[in-house]
Amino acid sequence: MDFGSIVGHKEITEHLKSLIQNNRVNHAYIFDGPKGIGKMTLAKAFAKTLNCEKGGTEPCNSCISCKTFDQDNNPDVIYVTHKTAGITVEDVREQIVKNIALRPYRNRYKIFIIADAHKMNIAAQNTFLKSLEEPPAYAVFILLSENSNSFLVTVLSRCVMFKLRPLPYDTVAGYISRTKGIDYDEALLCSRYSMGNIGKAEELALSEDFSRLRDESADIALRIEDADMIELYDIIDGIREDRVKLGQILENIYMLYRDALVYIKTGDEKRLIQPDKIYPISHIAEKSGASALIRRCEAIEDTGVKLRNNGNAQLLLEALFFKIKEK
């Protein structure tokens, strides 16, 4: 675990290294970006380097601090956790406020890595603010967030924010194909499918279900295209029970519609996320047209949100399929 082994995010890693080199480390950082983008990896490289006894811009991997860090056993790097859906006042009080006054055991910094920091409720943020406002010289907070809009302005104003962006598709594909021994084209498909999100791409590449579900979804998308009412209800009966799988099927169909739209607009197969599904894609493109596809994508997004909020799958699917079939 060091900066050198991080895939992409070069500007951020160079910036963090220069802060360490110039002794300009702030008390609090927010690493913001979607799940799987690499926030924790970056936080670990930063924390390990900060506390390395050699004091360089990369961890030495041989001092006690580096070694205990690698064993998840460095007493001066604290991973703030939470048992409930959100981070509560109690979590902040027990793991940060009570802890911060104690000097580091043996390292220069005492580092708090707060995963899911966007889930800190307002009361918890206010409690955290007290530690953030007057931190001891040795304290560093690294907040990992999927939604920086959830922070109070008073918290935001005391943190340095880094936004982690998706990586180029070939960078992600090259990395996955190299490290997981996966065929490059397959890795590229996963990379595109995840929109350059390295964690998600890796998950897809290693999933046994992904390829099978893509096939099944392509079949369903084709059936919908030519279905009458009876057939539509048959499709609904076949997919409504397993909500997790249903979510994935809808996401897959969304991706096919997106590809069909790109195919209509550019005619370029190289721009498709799933070039291996050119047949359903060209057929869907021919039958529906661009504006219908845009409407369909919006309808799927809307259905996905309602399904995640525990909406009735049968009713939502009926409404969705009627919209899809609407001329």
Q: Which residues bind Zn ion (CB under 5 A)?
A: 52, 59-60, 63, 66
Say how far residue 20 (Cα) sits from the centre of its chain.
27
| Whether 42 contacts 164, CB under 8 Å | yes
Closer CB to Zn ion, 5 or 157, in the complex: 5
Closer CB to Zn ion, 19 or 319, in the complex: 19
Least separation in angstroms between CB 74 and Zn ion: 10
Least separation in angstroms between CB 52 and Zn ion: 3
Closer CB to Zn ion, 104 or 166, in the complex: 104
Closer CB to Zn ion, 21 or 207, in the complex: 21
- The identity of residue 291, as a single letter, is S
Closer CB to Zn ion, 49 or 194, in the complex: 49
CA distance 273 to 282: 13
Closer CB to Zn ion, 63 or 235, in the complex: 63
Least separation in angstroms between CB 75 and Zn ion: 15
Least separation in angstroms between CB 68 and Zn ion: 10
> Residue 31 pairs with which residues in a beta bridge?
144, 162
- The identity of residue 320, as a single letter, is L
Least separation in angstroms between CB 65 and Zn ion: 5
Least separation in angstroms between CB 3 and Zn ion: 13
Closer CB to Zn ion, 60 or 195, in the complex: 60
Closer CB to Zn ion, 77 or 262, in the complex: 77
Least separation in angstroms between CB 61 and Zn ion: 6
Least separation in angstroms between CB 8 and Zn ion: 24
CA distance 89 to 130: 12
